[in-house]
Structure 1
Amino acid sequence: MTQAKLAQILHVSLYTYASYERGRRGLSLEMACTLADFYSTSVDYLIGRTDDRRPYPKSCR
């Protein structure tokens, strides 16, 4: 998937998404959760706190 397509899906500009990937711009918690859901993984995996790609089970609220 291209950066442009993912930026469109996430409703951000290409520049903003590219800045996330390059580490020039920090992710909001909301955007980190959106990306984790999109990639079916956990926020901990995205930020390098675990090597386990499996998402956490959804809790009942």
Structure 2
Amino acid sequence: MSRLKKLRKERGFSQIKMQMLTGIDQSDYSKIETGKRSMSFEQCRRVALALETSMDYLAGLTDDPRPYPRSPE
């Protein structure tokens, strides 16, 4: 199971919920989860925010799923 799918399931989100949270079409999101499609930088950022994780975790660069502290906007 991909990290993306695992986190989504842990959060209790459906792919439709992810579509609502990220603006990524459900069919495209499904392809991203199964590795049939890559995410753009912006899509990865939106997914990381929705799943409360870091882009590094989604990319497999760290095993720590906790998000980094956000800088004030």
What TM-score range do you get, normalising by the shorter chain? 0.7 to 0.9
Question: Normalising by the residue count of structure 2, what TM-score does the alignment of the two structures yield?
Answer: 0.70
Counterpart of 1:41 (choices 53, 56, 59) is 53
- Report the CA distance shift for 1:60/1:5 in structure 2 as closer, same or farther (over 3 A): closer
User: Which runs of 5 or more structure 2 residues have no equivalent in the other structure?
Assistant: 1-12
Higher RCO (CA 8 Å, separation ≥ 6 residues) = 2
Q: How many residues align?
A: 61
Query: Runs of 4 or more off by more than 3 Å in structure 1?
Result: none
| Structure 1: stretches of 5+ with no match in the other structure | none
Identical residues among aligned pairs (%):
38
**Bigger Rg, structure 1 or 2:** 1
Residue type matched to 2:23 in 1?
A: H
Q: How well do the aligned residues superpose, as a CA RMSD in angstroms?
A: 1.6
